[in-house]
């Protein structure tokens, strides 16, 4: 995805990660160094389930997104859950894999609770099922068939 975005005319692509090598900058998603309202589009794909203070990260992403900007803030979610499942006593990789589905996840989101968290941070959220896209788009964008895309719009305050 990085290469596709970098090739778009008129697009300045910036990537961040705390420790990955192939990024523009190393920084913490809960304490971004960018000024307010700098990005038209924010993509945060399968990151927030790794972040202990996900609500702070959601607020930081809102802060750096321009008014009338858009964010795609996708996480794995479990439609069987009514509430997001978090248990801070689970600290081993094995325990986290069993509880949250991956050794470095710290929660398992319920879709409804995830939308509430995003809304509380100031986002207006639209859920889009990957199945709503045509077959060609699903292939082109390499979308999992069972994934919900969380489109978040920055509301003016």
pLDDT tens digit string along 97-151?
Answer: 999 999 999 999 999 999 999 999 999 999 988 777 777 777 777 777 778 889 9
Query: What SS3 class is residue 130?
Result: helix
Q: How far, CA to CA in Å, does 77 sit from each of 11, 42, 55, 58, 85? A: 30, 20, 16, 16, 10
pLDDT in tens, 12-66: 999 999 999 989 999 999 999 999 999 999 999 999 999 999 999 999 999 999 9
Joined tokens for residue 24: 């523009």
pTM for this model (two decimals): 0.91
With residue 39 as reference, give the H or E element that holds it: strand 39-45
Joined tokens for residue 145: 């068939």
pLDDT in tens, 55-89: 999 999 999 999 999 999 999 999 999 999 999 99
Structural domain span for residue 118: 2-154
Residue 156 pLDDT > 70, yes or no? no
Instruction: Look up the CATH number of the domain holding residue 44.
Output: 3.40.50.150
Joined tokens for residue 115: 């939308």
Which of 79, 37, 93 has the alpha carbon at shortest distance from 61?
Answer: 37
Give how many domains the chain has, as a whole number: 1
């Amino acid at each position: 995805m990085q290469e596709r975005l970098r090739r778009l005319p008129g697009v300045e692509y910036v990537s961040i990660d705390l420790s990955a090598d192939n990024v523009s900058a190393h920084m913490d998603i809960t304490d971004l160094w960018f000024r307010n309202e700098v990005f038209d589009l924010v993509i945060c794909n399968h990151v927030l389930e790794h972040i202990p203070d996900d609500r702070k990260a959601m607020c930081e992403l809102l802060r750096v997104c321009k008014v009338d900007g858009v964010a795609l803030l996708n996480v794995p979610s479990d439609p069987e859950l009514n509430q997001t499942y978090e248990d801070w006593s689970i600290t081993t990789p094995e325990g986290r894999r069993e509880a949250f589905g991956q050794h470095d996840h710290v929660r398992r989101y319920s879709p409804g609770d995830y939308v509430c968290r995003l809304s509380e941070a100031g986002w207006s959220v639209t859920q889009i099922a990957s199945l709503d896209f045509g077959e060609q788009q699903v292939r082109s964008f390499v979308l999992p068939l069972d994934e919900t895309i969380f489109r978040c719009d920055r509301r003016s305050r």
